[in-house]
Structure 1
Amino acid sequence: MTADSLKRRSPLLRWGVIALVAIIILALALGIGLGLGLKHSSSSTSAGSSSSDDGSNGSTGGNGLNATAPPLSNFALKDIRNDSPQVREYTLVVQEATGSPDSVFRPGMLVVNGTYPGPTLVANQNDRMIIHVINQLPNSTAIHWHGLYQNSTPFYDGTNGISQCGIPPSQSYTYNYTFGDFSGSTWYHAHYSTQYTDGVVGALIVNPSNASTDADGRPVPPTPAPTVPVPAYDQDIVVVMQDWYHTPSPIVLALFLGPDGIDGTQGDEPTPESGTMNGLGQFDGNGEYFNFSLEANMTYRFRLVNTGSLANIRFSIDDHPLLLVSADGVDVVPQWVSGVELAVAQRYDVLVRTNETSGGQWWVRGTILDDMFAYSIPDQELDQRGILSYPVPFPNTTPLDPASADPGPGANISDLDTSTLVPSLPIDAPEPTHRYPVTISFQETQDDEYLAFLNNTSWYPLDKECTMSLLQQPSFLSSLTSSDGPSVYGDSQLLLTHNGIEVVDLLLDNLDEGDHPFHMHGHRPWVMGSGAGRYQGQSFNLTNPMRRDTHLIPAYSWVALRFITDNPGMWAFHCHIAWHMSSGLLMQINNRPQVAASYGLPDVLLQHCAVDKGSEAKRSVGLNVRLGGF
């Protein structure tokens, strides 16, 4: 049976099914402690107003927790670039709440320290981070630090089922790591089922450092100078953008994985109702706008992050050109663009000059793109906006028109073409020593589930262990050190093992009709080439190819990624669309397992594995939900 052979349900029946499933799960949740929260009180402004100074959306959770959007100070960052190397210690509490980010009441939100998104973490490259994550959810969780290499600390990568077992309810896990040669804009998020879809996200900004020692007093090599440095700027501004769902993600995921899909067609990805910008959105003419209240005649570095689950997001600012300077933490040769399109998990940094002489207020646009949507939703709101304001000599007293189209930057420039990205610090890729073909596909199983496969293996988290803990077992370690190459542990763990330092090409063929933003943990691979159709020996770009940790593979296309196996550990390589990840679209890069095993594991990690309920805990009130996947 294929997806094309299934009959599409009517919209009325589709939403009736969703509502019925939601009611059943919410009712059962009250009895088993899922704590989705039903009490509701909210206060929202009309769509023509700006957000309040504290960013609060005024909603109160049934468990007493008020889910708010953080204030501007969480996104307009204090400059710490000249601080000496130091230990920066944070505590992040993951909790359930209710809220109305886009004016629609939403049970089952998951927040960090009471806010969505969570607090922005800021550090310098030579700092040490100590982050205590306290889990106050009724389910396990894990926090991933996207894009960080975690050299010698793979057990702090924060990937459930791979680098650690989930942090059980009412327990904590301390992540203690340094950045190595990483700097740039990135983010942290839950890496346990679809939890980040419900709000466990936050920005992580790492400034480059010229200090000669790190926070532990050890000497560090000087940072190589780029051929084209980033122009000077006055302040960092963080913009966290996300597609937003009105139904808690476990309910949505259960329907997506089921035989009828979420809309009557198996395999159709869940479509979001709206989006948010720094925790605020607008739905059906209601909601608040995040107000970027800045100073005139300044240069701001806008650090953009797509923390969504499905959709690409286009960012632009009316009447303001953007100078693109970085992609996924890699400084690039600057270029002027009118807008940038971010795939899920991608980041871009752009410089914006506040030098307009008339107006005083401009739309900051985070448009949700619908090219991945398989069906439509009534009253769906894709045009999410914030407001940029600063004093000008000739202010315009006319209110902003909510329905106005993007006028562009007022210059003859175009949106970013990612094929033009060139790293400003040239690093040519070494010749490969190994090449492996990898196919991306979706298939219906005998259980009527529509699952994702890499080379015919669909990932699923292990029960009461993670693959890093398996390295502590002599028999498992011995099986990996006998030879290099791909292998499958159990029926769900596709491992690509290399015992020495090798240069590996992954030749990815996307056989699916949808795009896939693939992210490689622990590495920043070179993008050697890409094109339509299947890979058939096409030539590569060998001169300073782009390096990035998240690359979009279009439908029915190929891409070649090259990386060096010099970072010991088990590293996830997966599609960052939450629904695809939870349906199994993941494999693992297993570098130098003997060295990784010699690192040992924190005792608390092994304790968490011992009490983790494994696959039994990753089902939702009798529905077939893969809650351990992402």
Structure 2
Amino acid sequence: MDGKLMWDIIIIWRSSHLSILEGTYGITECGIAPGSTFTYNWTVQNFGTYWWHAHYGTQYSDGIVGALILHSPNDTLKFSNTSTTSNTASLAARSTPQFDALSSTSNASAEVTYDEDLIFVVGDIYNQLSGIVLQTYVAPDGPEGTGLGNEPVPDGATLNGIGQSNCAFAPEGTECNGSVNYNFTVQPNKRYRMRVINAGSFADVLFSVDGHPLTVVEADATAIEPTVVQSVQVSIAQRYSVIIETNQTAGAFFVHADLVTDMFTYTNDATVVTQTAVMRYSGVPDTTMPNSTSPSLGNITGLLDSTTLVPAVPNTPPAATKTEMVFMTLQLTGDSTWGGFWNNTAWVPETGGNATVFQTAKAALTGSSASDSSQFILTENDIQVVDLIINNQDDGDHPIHFHGHTPWLVAAGDGNLYPGQKNITAVNPMRRDVFVIPAYTYQVIRFITNNPGLWAL
């Protein structure tokens, strides 16, 4: 990585599970200074659909993101023609028991085949640079004066970098064509694996393909029992793989990456909610546009219910040996700005410069802590199976990413849960690294403390 920006930058590789590579600025990494270079180097231990992005301030919201697709002979989701993938036998030979729970292992009965891979990086977008948008969010009067705590409503979205927009609200001097689409061509009678990655900042995205059912086969790099639906709601940082069969009459079809507006607390006149790409069958002229009315899919289930997902390869967690509990809120900080809190503690950067960051990261590997006493840190000095109860006391849903781990989701419900109320029997629960906790509910995630480091939640 060659740092040519005016600011520091770090890139987080969502699959590495190494604290110095999947860490966060000011916690485990110091950043790449302007004019400096850094080489990211790690041995691939897992597989599936991941992504990479900047993790300094709000940089990734300005587009420093990309897909990261890792293949393995152990993947239950396979190309029909295996010659289309690279030889990954050496990857399998290097895998270690520590990471066995992070991706599905080989299981012939769970195998699903497909002919081609397609990647869709989707997400909301703002007309202003993210730093400006952030300042409006934390300001006492909120974005556009709409009130304290209102999350900034995006101006639109993109699908593989292209989206529809309201040009009347484009920044002055910006060239704008608000009706362009991302276009791609498919061959008839093929099975396409569409890997959908929400690399946005705030809004969920509703993904669908007109006239084509979606067979959901992967969620956050975990292969799941195939589920057929019409659409999938993808939250921030989540990834889904869906398979479509191109068995319809040749034509043009819209692919939707529409914004989900449930969390929008005010009206942004610039917002374009409906976002589409155009999929054309081979031989259909480039000028052919889809019908405005989507073909009916009959009695197929409408929206995927993510709470019903079942891993295709069973992996029941061991019993918990320890329980931790946290409360999550958004509220005013001491300087009257808006921020996030865990157990009434807001994270602030370490003082003392890079030396303190180095000390903290080193201490995490040796079982001690060099962090300031004001930081809220859960510390484990040996191998434990931890149930982490997360109580969301905010009035909004929140996607949570647990760095360095792929935990099991073992319980969920309304209100708060306390350790004494916990009664969990988990048989092959869902495993994923990004889970959404609805407003005023709790979730319990289980993980094993076998990956040393300082990890952000």
TM-score by length of 1: 0.64
**Alignment partners' CA distance in 2, 1:518 and 1:269:** 17
- Map of 1:400 onto structure 2: 290
Q: Distance in 2 between matches of 1:567 and 1:347?
A: 23
Q: Please list the CA deviations of residues 208-231 of structure 1 after superposition, one character each: whole Å capped at 9, or x if unmatched.
A: 235796369858789832364242
Q: Does 1:501 align with 2:383?
A: yes
CA distance in 2, matches of 1:396, 1:539: 58
The verdict on how the C-alpha distance between 1:516 and 1:467 changes in structure 2, with shifts beyond 3 A counting, is farther
1:449 is displaced (CA, Å) by 1.0
Determine the structure 2 residue equivalent to 1:76. Answer: none
Match of 1:197 among 56, 61, 72: 61
CA distance 1:440–1:141, change in 2 (3 Å): same
1:245 aligns with 2:109: no
Is this contact kept in 2: 1:163–1:467, CA < 8 A?
A: no
**Distance in 1 (alpha carbons) for counterparts of 2:404 and 2:362:** 23
Instruction: State how far apart, in whole Å, the 2-side matches of 1:344 and 1:430 are.
Output: 29
- Deviation, 1:409, is 3.4
Task: Tell me if 1:567 matches 2:451.
Answer: yes
Among candidates 265, 281, 286, match of residue 374 of structure 1: 265
Q: Over residues 341-367 of structure 1, what are the superposed CA-to-partner deviations in whole Å (9 max), with x where a residue is unaligned?
A: 001000000111111124x10000001
> CA 1:398–1:388 in 2, change beyond 3 Å: closer, same or farther?
closer
* Cα displacement (A) at 1:488: 6.8
Which shifted more, 277-286 or 300-309? 277-286
Instruction: Find the counterpart in structure 2 of residue 389 from structure 1.
Output: 280
**Residue of 310, 318, 328 corresponding to 1:440:** 328
How far off is 1:412 after superposition? 2.8
> How far, CA to CA, are the matches of 2:355 and 2:43 in structure 1?
23
- Whole-angstrom distance in 2 between the partners of 1:572 and 1:361: 44
1:532 lines up with 2:423 in the alignment:
no
Map of 2:5 onto structure 1: 137
Q: Which amino acid aligns with 1:566?
A: N
- CA–CA distance in 2 between the matches of 1:224 and 1:313? 30
Q: Report the Cα offset of residue 289 of structure 1.
A: 0.5
SS at match of 2:144: coil
1:160 lines up with 2:28 in the alignment: no
2:70 to 197, 206, 211: 206
Whether 1:450 aligns to 2:342 is: no
- Whole-angstrom CA distance in 1 between matches of 2:391 and 2:361: 34
What is the rounded CA distance, in whole Å, between the counterparts of 1:219 and 1:502 in structure 2? Answer: 22
Q: Distance in 2 between matches of 1:227 and 1:216?
A: 16
Q: TM-score, normalization: structure 2? A: 0.87
Does the aligned pair in 2 maintain the 1:326–1:348 contact within 8 Å?
yes
Aligned partner of 1:342 among 234, 248, 257: 234
Residue 236 of structure 1 corresponds to: 117
* 3-state SS of 1:495 partner: coil
Paired residues of 1:147 and 1:549 also in contact (CA < 8 A) = no
Aligned residues: 426
Residues 1:396 and 1:571: Cα distance change in structure 2 (over 3 Å): closer
Q: Conserved in 1, the CA contact under 8 Å of 2:4 and 2:34?
A: yes
> Contact between 1:147 and 1:523, CA under 8 Å: does it hold in 2?
no
Q: Percent identity?
A: 39
Cα contact 2:231–2:304 (8 A) shared by 1: yes
User: Which residue of 2 is the match for residue 422 of structure 1?
Assistant: 310
Q: Write out per-residue CA displacement over residues 26-52 of structure 1, whole angstroms, 9 at most, x where no aligned residue.
A: xxxxxxxxxxxxxxxxxxxxxxxxxxx
Aligned to 1:148: 16
Shift of 1:477: 8.0
1:409 corresponds in structure 2 to 297
By how many angstroms is 1:399 displaced? 3.7
After superposition, residues 274-353 of structure 1 pair within 5 angstroms as 274-284=156-166, 286-353=178-245
Indicate the SS of the match to 2:40: strand
Alignment-mate amino acid for residue 308 of structure 1: G
Give a deviation string over 1:58-110, Cα, whole Å, max 9, x none: xxxxxxxxxxxxxxxxxxxxxxxxxxxxxxxxxxxxxxxxxxxxxxxxxxxxx
Partner of 2:348: 460
Aligned equivalents of 2:91, 2:313: Cα separation in 1: 25
Larger Rg: 1
Partner residue of 2:47 out of 154, 158, 183: 183
Equivalent in the alignment of 1:556: 440
Task: Verify the 8 A CA contact 1:229 1:424 in the aligned structure 2.
Answer: yes
Q: Does 1:489 align with 2:372?
A: yes
- Determine helix, strand or coil for the equivalent of 1:370: coil
Contact 1:162–1:466 (CA under 8 A) maintained in structure 2: no
Report deviation, 1:162: 1.9
What is the SS of the residue equivalent to 1:308? Answer: coil
**Mapped contact 1:213–1:219 kept (Cα < 8 A):** no
From the superposition, tell whether residues 144 and 388 of structure 1 become closer, same or farther in structure 2 (CA, over 3 Å): same
Amino acid at match of 2:257: G
Native 8 Å contact 1:489 1:495 kept in 2: no
Q: Which structure 2 residue ranges, 5 or more long, are not aligned?
A: 75-86, 168-177
Paired letter, 1:317: V
Question: 1:431 is matched with which residue?
Answer: 319
The answer (yes or no) to whether the contact 1:467–1:570 under 8 Å persists in 2 is: no
